Amino acid sequence: PGFRPGPAGDFADVVPLPAELRGGPGARPLQSAWSLPGTPHSLKHFPVDLRTSMDGKYKEIAEELFCRSLAENEMRTAPYEFPEESPIEQLEERRQRLERQISQDVKLEPDILLRAKQDFLKIDSAADLQLLKEQNDSLVDHVPKEREALLEREFQRVTISGEEKCGVSLPLTPLVTRRCLCGRSTWDCPSRASARPRPGTCRSSPRSPWRPVAMRRYAPVHPPFAEQHPYEMWDPQNMPADLGFGLKMVNGVVHVYTKQDITDKSTELDLPYPDLQEFIADMNFLMALIINGPIKSFCYRRLQYLSNKFQMHVLLNEMKELAAQKKVPHRDFYNIRKVDTHIHASSCMNQKHLLRFIKRAMKKHLDEIVHVEKGKEQTLKEVFETMNLTAYDLSVDTLDVHADRNTFHRFDKFNAKYNPIGESILREIFIKTDNRVSGKYFAHIIKEVMADLEESKYQNAELRLSIYGRSRDEWDKLARWAVSHRVHSNNVRWLVQVPRLFDIYRTKKQLANFQEMLENIFLPLYEATIHPAQHPELHLFLEHVDGFDSVDDESKPEHHIFNLDSPLPGNWVEEDNPPYSYYLYYMYANMTVLNHLRRKRGFHTFVLRPHCGEAGPIHHLVSGFMVSENISHGLLLRKAPVLQYLLFLSYHRNPLPEYLSRGLMVSLSTDDPLQFHFTKEPLMEEYSIATQVWKLSSCDMCELARNSVLMSGFSHKVKSYWLGPNYLKEGPEGNDIRRTNVPDIRVSYRFETLCQELTLITQAVQSAELEPIQEEDVLTISLGTH
């Protein structure tokens, strides 16, 4: 250190060199130890004997480091461990213990105290440690508790100043965005079953004062469930009264009359539902909107900005979020509530679980009649004899229910995996509710899965059961199966999925028209609402059903465009399947009327949560955006252009982390544990895989878990225990880190970002009022740009 080359490039101006080395008389070339063999001596070399006063010190340091490296190498290869009373181990334990103690006592840590704390961890003196702790305590005593809470929740923010330039004309932006937001709330509210946080406007300032006293109030975290089984508590003699209303489906939608005589139109109840013409007009408007070039540019730029803003937020506040999580006693990712919001009951078990159950059934119920083939009854033993299989022959590979790479982009192969050993008869026996044994085996295996969820305590699921719409008694059979076998758990709710298979039923002459399918799906629900005593099991079962799902292969081509010229359901007699939006509208319209009726009676209501955006045309997402509470998959949201025939994405191509960074409410789910998972905790396995692939932090995982509870259909009372009594409030006031393990910093960032985006739109609307633009001009611009 300190040597500087002179003008000639040597060190002559710093260290006087002998004449022989300066090139004077008698100079001789010296070969450097760094030169390669065979290098001409005429090349310039550093001098060999340049000594300074620091050389001795350098030598000592080098020798010490060399000795340490040898010692460490010997320690790593030594075949022994440290003794239990190792001084190093005792010192580390003492440091960790004091660090935890100070973390609990010191609630306010300015930069000076934080640096002091970091320095104290390097001090071995117990007196120094105690002195620093006393100094921290004296400072904390003078800090108000409310000020503590405020500083704990404060974080670094990124702001942008200057005029907004979004890449789209100002008069066009507010009208388009305002109509989209208003249209979403108009279509979504009538069928909404429960009130979950939906910040439509910024009713409070994003930087409003905190209220720590209310947030710190103690409240129990485990909801008090009744000890008696809910299917045993009901009394057939004490059912709700019969209203005596009449029912009739008109143009695909059920109408309710106050009298059994439905010919008198004046007795019809006023139960409003969305008008078909209005639905098609709004859908056409959105379709024209999503192909508009300036609007796509505006949305893309805002989404890119939100993604980068989140990355900046993580960069600035990640350590503070982690520190906030560490201060919460007992709570971590493993013991916070999480809900699997997308899991099919027929595949809720893993393949090893199903294999063991089949083997156990073959040992205990070998002579039980389980199937009827061409009028002849067959026992379980006879069924397996026709396949030339014994219990010993069965294995996971033989079962062949696990989805592999060959099922990607092949919905037919994917569905075939539901058949154990490739035999549909085994699917009917073991994972169907309506069969020769009345779904006994299926009920038992689901109850085993429920027992695993109850044992885990913090994992919950919404299992999907199917109603096909082929006959009117499907609902009563499903409810009788659940009640008679007592298939219930406080950790599980039900969703009913309706496969879009009208074309198959029509081809087989099982249905005359599409309205008959709608009648088979919805009229039993209306009858159970009006006449509960006539459908006691169904009335009881519906109290544990969250909503409806629409499922099938979205990539199948649609040969019809849904518009005002489309046939009404009573006139849809062709064998082609109606389009996706056709299914969704008539499901939504009937659910809206049903919810009005059930709400008047004080019964549980339903939501629409379809499979949407998994593949197929973009208008699936448009109709889903209009009428759904939330959707499953949504993969097509990752691109604006239409994506065809993309059934599944690999984990590395899945857009979940991108959606999370942009502020969309997303959660993880298992979909089909039977086909995709190996352990008996598929939801935890899903979180584990996602964490490894996407490098999610603890805060990210806890936020996803909190989102899953908010999106689920569990009751408001249960959510109040799981998330906190104020969970319906917007922003950090609605978060209780003691229950969710999500730092208030993260929730505050989400809320402030949402408010800023809404403020951007609101300010544009106010500015556009000076120059009003006609709605017809918007459609002209949109279509003209396309």
Strand pairing class (459-466; 607-608): unpaired
pLDDT of the residue at 135: 56
pLDDT of the residue at 674: 55
- Mean pLDDT, residues 463-482 taken together: 95
Read off the pLDDT of residues 700-723 as tens digits, 9 standing for 90 and up: 999 999 999 998 999 999 999 999
Read off the pLDDT of residues 734-756 as tens digits, 9 standing for 90 and up: 999 999 999 999 999 999 988 88
Q: Which amino acid is at 476?
A: D
Q: What angle do CA 55, 59, 60 make, to 5 degrees?
A: 120
Query: Nearest-CA neighbor of 764 among 158, 179, 159?
Result: 179
State the DSSP code for 463. Answer: E
In which element (H, E) is residue 292 found?
none
Query: Nearest-CA neighbor of 92 among 130, 122, 72, 131?
Result: 122
Least confident of 237-241, 299-303, 640-644: 640-644
pLDDT > 50? residue 636: yes
pLDDT of the residue at 206: 43
Q: Which amino acid is at 101?
A: Q
- Total residues found in the chain within this entry: 786
Burial class (CB in 10 A: 0-12, 13-18, 19+), 133: middle
Q: What percent of the chain has pLDDT over 70?
A: 62
- Mean pLDDT, residues 423-428 taken together: 85
Q: Report whether 551 contacts 478 (CB < 8 A).
A: no
Read off the pLDDT of residues 510-530 as tens digits, 9 standing for 90 and up: 999 999 999 999 999 999 999
Token pair of 301 as six digits:
């730029």
- DSSP per-residue codes, 165-176: --SS-TTHHHHH
Q: How far apart are CA 777 and CA 427, in angstroms?
A: 56
Q: How far apart are CA 598 and CA 539, in angstroms?
A: 11
DSSP strand E in 710-760: where? Answer: none
- Mean pLDDT, residues 584-598 taken together: 95
The backbone torsions φ and ψ at residue 29, rounded to the nearest 5 degrees and listed phi first, read -70, 140
Least confident of 481-490, 584-593, 757-766: 757-766
For residue 617, the SS3 value is: coil
Q: What is the pTM of this model?
A: 0.74
3-state secondary structure 660-684: HHCCCCCCCCCECHHHHCCCCCHHH
Which segments of 619-729 does DSSP mark as H helices, in order? 619-627, 656-661, 673-676, 682-694, 698-711, 716-723
Token pair of 105 as six digits:
């006592």
Burial class (CB in 10 A: 0-12, 13-18, 19+), 363: exposed
pLDDT of the residue at 567: 95
Residue 596 falls in the annotated catalytic set: no
Mean pLDDT of the chain: 74
Strand pairing class (376-379; 369-373): antiparallel
DSSP strand E in 20-92: where? Answer: none
pLDDT of the residue at 215: 37
Q: Report whether 681 contacts 459 (CB < 8 A).
A: yes
Q: How far apart are CA 570 and CA 273, in angstroms?
A: 18
CA dihedral 671, 676, 682, 684 (to 10 degrees): -100
Q: Which residue has the higher pLDDT, 460 or 654?
A: 460
Query: Nearest-CA neighbor of 535 among 584, 473, 585?
Result: 473
Query: Nearest-CA neighbor of 94 among 115, 117, 119, 125?
Result: 125
Read off the pLDDT of residues 672-695 as tens digits, 9 standing for 90 and up: 555 556 777 888 888 888 888 888
Q: How far apart are CA 659 and CA 653, in angstroms?
A: 12
pLDDT of the residue at 52: 58
pLDDT band at 62 (very low <50, low <70, confident <90, very high): low
| CA distance readout (Å), 756 to 164, 201, 203, 751 | 12, 10, 12, 9
- Residues ≥6 apart with Cβ < 8 Å to 92: none
pLDDT of the residue at 67: 65
pLDDT of the residue at 669: 67
- DSSP per-residue codes, 214-266: HHTS---SS----SS-HHHH--GGGPPPP---EEEEETTEEEEESSS-TT-GG
- Residues ≥6 apart with Cβ < 8 Å to 609: 341, 495, 546, 547, 548, 549, 628, 629, 630, 631, 632
Which segments of 247-379 does DSSP mark as H helices, in order? 276-290, 293-326, 351-364
Query: Nearest-CA neighbor of 337 among 18, 742, 33, 744?
Result: 742
Q: Report whether 164 contacts 761 (CB < 8 A).
A: no
Read off the pLDDT of residues 174-198 as tens digits, 9 standing for 90 and up: 455 555 656 555 565 555 544 444 4
- Mean pLDDT, residues 398-414 taken together: 64
Q: How far apart are CA 314 and CA 106, in angstroms?
A: 24
Q: How far apart are CA 746 and CA 732, in angstroms?
A: 8
Q: What burial letters (b/e) apply to 690-728, b meaning 16+ CB within 10 Å?
A: bbeebebbbbbbbbbbbbbbbbbbbeeebbbbbbbbbbb
- Mean pLDDT, residues 496-505 taken together: 94
Q: How far apart are CA 713 and CA 493, in angstroms?
A: 7
Catalytic residue among 342, 485, 633, 677: 633
pLDDT of the residue at 40: 41
- Residues ≥6 apart with Cβ < 8 Å to 190: 272, 273, 274, 592, 595, 596
In which element (H, E) is residue 640 found?
none
Q: What percent of the chain has pLDDT over 90?
A: 34
Least confident of 124-138, 657-671, 767-781: 767-781
Rg of the chain taking only CA atoms, in angstroms: 35
pLDDT band at 373 (very low <50, low <70, confident <90, very high): confident
Which of the given ranges, 158-172, 264-278, 386-400, 615-629, has the highest pLDDT on average? 264-278
Query: Nearest-CA neighbor of 332 among 699, 712, 684?
Result: 699
Residue indicated by tokens 């033993």: 381
